[in-house]
Structure 1
């Protein structure tokens, strides 16, 4: 293989799409470039190219987005003195599953054993808060995903805050 062939292969991979597909495969690129499939695969691997993978993203249209990000990141990196900073998130529709039989514990020479089937118990919602300074996680599970469950989580979070904190700034 010449350097020009490698350059042409990489350029084609990065700058063109095949006529009849959404992305290049090793076979279609090999046909296009007159090379073997294994050669295309080796070159892609060497240059870290994976044309079959894609990611999507969406940029905010908020004109103050950068300022807001700087404020939040600044709060995490340099919180005000004597302040508790929490990063709060939620995960809804978690499947509540349980094995159909008890897990058999590991013994010398025998691995832990468990059944492959399970019983469904509906879904649950997880609300969690990370205390940035200490890494402590406070979470709660709820059957539903509504404002009142989130409010109940915030009440739980409030109970975890030490009594000597200034509660007037909440």
Structure 2
């Protein structure tokens, strides 16, 4: 041995069982690297290698070798485990934490605070003002809320159903999506169309050309634009065949909707269908009993089915409209209405080439659960 190399006072003698365990750890590809490294240190020490040689061979600091060699000599395999860490003592009690979370779930108006919602800084200030804590940072408050199941800073807008026939109308549409009408399954020559219009589509022409994305740079779109007018897009979506038929009009109204109906009802397979059910909302182009009368008179095999008021979220064509908006219109640069109309219809053709029916999962059972929760909410408010 090199006389310059200092030998360790901790001699390692391994039993057959311990050597087998350490050899398995040292050669493992899945064990945590810290366990692999510690096993290799002990095995090398057991072979009589000095600490400095082991450190050089494993490319680690010699102090690391000394630590785990000493720990193994004192405690065996258990000595290679990490010691328990007590960590920093808690500054705030569970009661204080719960109190601040409760405060976060309380609308600011109930505390006479002129805010629409709390921020981390505002909650920290209010917690001190109410004496919940002596002091606290907004970062601590934000960290507690981020880990909690309740996110009081988030919100969703909704409209309370006000249609007295909401359940009946919604259930009728959900049945059609499930290919059921009046308790009976639809036949192969019966179809369900979800229809609506996307109004006020604007032909926006950017004042300067956009900039394509590049290394370290996202795509840039000029903010300022010139308005080139608006148009309306009427679409009929076959919910079971995933096919869209659409028309372009200058504006919404009864006449352009009738043109869409005519285009669909004169196209196969709808022209020779036994029945075609048209699911629509209560927009002015197709609302009220008069719209049903017009449909019956013009197309005896077509049946107009109205959704409840404020229930466009049950109209599947709205999903298609959102796809159209995201993929073909948002961020676009259109020199005029003709270019916008061509884009919309070209996207429709592209969509039809590969589309599959939406994975619609909202059923009568979901509707019943929703109405039950609304009824419970009403009773709680009345109490």
TM-score when scaled to structure 2? 0.38
Distance between the aligned counterparts of 1:40 and 1:115, measured in 2?
Answer: 37
Distance between the aligned counterparts of 2:173 and 2:107, measured in 1?
Answer: 39
Residue 263 of structure 2 is matched in structure 1 by 156
Which residue of the other structure, out of 105, 109, 124, is the alignment partner of 1:14? 105
- Higher strand proportion (structure 1 or 2): 1
Q: What SS does the aligned partner of 2:204 have?
A: strand
Aligned-residue offset at 1:125: 1.0
Aligned-residue offset at 1:53: 4.0
Which residue of the other structure, out of 120, 131, 137, is the alignment partner of 1:26? 120
Measured against aligned partners, the alpha-carbon deviations of 1:32-56 in whole angstroms (never above 9, x if no partner) come to 2232111111122222554444333
Query: Are residues 1:39 and 2:39 paired?
Result: no
Residue 236 of structure 2 is matched in structure 1 by 129
Distance between the aligned counterparts of 1:15 and 1:68, measured in 2?
Answer: 36
Distance between the aligned counterparts of 1:103 and 1:32, measured in 2?
Answer: 46
1:104·1:114 contact (CA, 8 Å) conserved in 2? yes
Kindly tell me: are residues 114 and 142 of structure 1, through their superposed partners in 2, closer, same or farther at Cα, counting changes over 3 Å?
A: farther
Kindly tell me: are residues 122 and 50 of structure 1, through their superposed partners in 2, closer, same or farther at Cα, counting changes over 3 Å?
A: farther
Residue 283 of structure 2 is matched in structure 1 by none
Q: What SS does the aligned partner of 2:126 have?
A: helix
1:25·1:51 contact (CA, 8 Å) conserved in 2? no
Aligned-residue offset at 1:131: 0.4
Q: Which runs of 5+ in 2 are unaligned?
A: 1-91, 129-135, 181-185, 276-299, 303-383
Q: Aligned-pair RMSD on alpha carbons?
A: 3.0
Which residue of the other structure, out of 229, 234, 251, is the alignment partner of 1:144? 251
Distance between the aligned counterparts of 1:151 and 1:53, measured in 2?
Answer: 42
Query: Are residues 1:61 and 2:165 paired?
Result: no
User: Which deviates more, 93-102 or 80-89?
Assistant: 93-102
- Higher helix proportion (structure 1 or 2): 2
Distance between the aligned counterparts of 1:160 and 1:98, measured in 2?
Answer: 35
Aligned-residue offset at 1:88: 0.9
Distance between the aligned counterparts of 2:126 and 2:176, measured in 1?
Answer: 52
2:232·2:250 contact (CA, 8 Å) conserved in 1? yes
